[in-house]
Amino acid sequence: MKLKLPSIDIGILKQKKKPLHIAINGSSLEGWVEKNSKTPAQAALKNVEQIKTFIKYQIRNEIPIITLNISTETEEEVSELTKFFRELLFDEDIHKNKIRVFIIGKWFDLEMELTDVFKKVMDETKEYDNLFLNFCVKYDGQEEVLGVIKLLATKAKLGKLDLDDLNTQAVKENLYSSYFTPPEIIIEPSKTYSGLLLWDSKGAKIFQMKKNWLDLTTADVDEAIEWANRK
């Protein structure tokens, strides 16, 4: 898929010191459940609330690309996400602001109800190019890169790829994230880097926090942007 940029004026974006692309790791919800004595169902509802909050944040601040790594570890999470993406199909903000939604990762073996609505949302928004909203689902950075290596090795073995043509661009073109630019900021609600958008992470500023994704606020994202601008 050809690399694509949002229609927002990049020059104006730089003047306002706003990033082109922010990626946020929506970490496992289990720690939040244990820490706050909540149920998996409550965590699943809170997870959807967080996603909605950051969609509004993207629109309000005109952040061209936001990537959210979201959890689908429990039945409750899958159920609430299915409801959410069904609603997203008819969300006025998505269509009014021409937000392209894309799902990244190995999500194809999830429950059919969820995978079907993923496909519908992507199809309904495929012509939009004002803002990009990406969801990493069942995503693993190392597995993504390994998959590209296997694919390119197979092409070379079949004579469909000359090894002299194997370069970083060839890898990029075969990633899940082939169609969008790398993130300038990756927000990790933990002390360690998860490998989110691993290939594209080179040059990104990684903002690490000591709070769960479900406790992350828009003020935290503002802080991450201010921190990145100072670096």
pLDDT digits (tens, 9 = 90+) for 77-113: 999 999 999 999 999 999 999 999 999 999 999 999 9
CA atoms in the 13 A half-sphere facing the CB of 59: 16
What is the pLDDT at residue 27? Answer: 76
First to last CA, the chain: 32
What is the pLDDT at residue 80? Answer: 97
Positions of the chain with pLDDT under 50: 1-3
Mutual orientation of helices 75-88 and 112-125 as an angle, nearest 10°? 30
Residue 219: strand, helix, or coil? helix
Q: Measure the CA–CA gap between 6 and 21, rounded to whole angstroms.
A: 10
**Total residue length of the chain:** 231
Asked if 26 and 53 touch (Cβ cutoff 8 Å), the reply is no
What is the pLDDT at residue 10? Answer: 60
What is the pLDDT at residue 3? Answer: 47
CATH superfamily of 19-139+182-226: Decaprenyl diphosphate synthase-like (3.40.1180.10)
Neighbouring residues of 33: CB distance < 8 A, sequence distance ≥ 6: 39, 40, 42, 43
Asked if 137 and 110 touch (Cβ cutoff 8 Å), the reply is yes
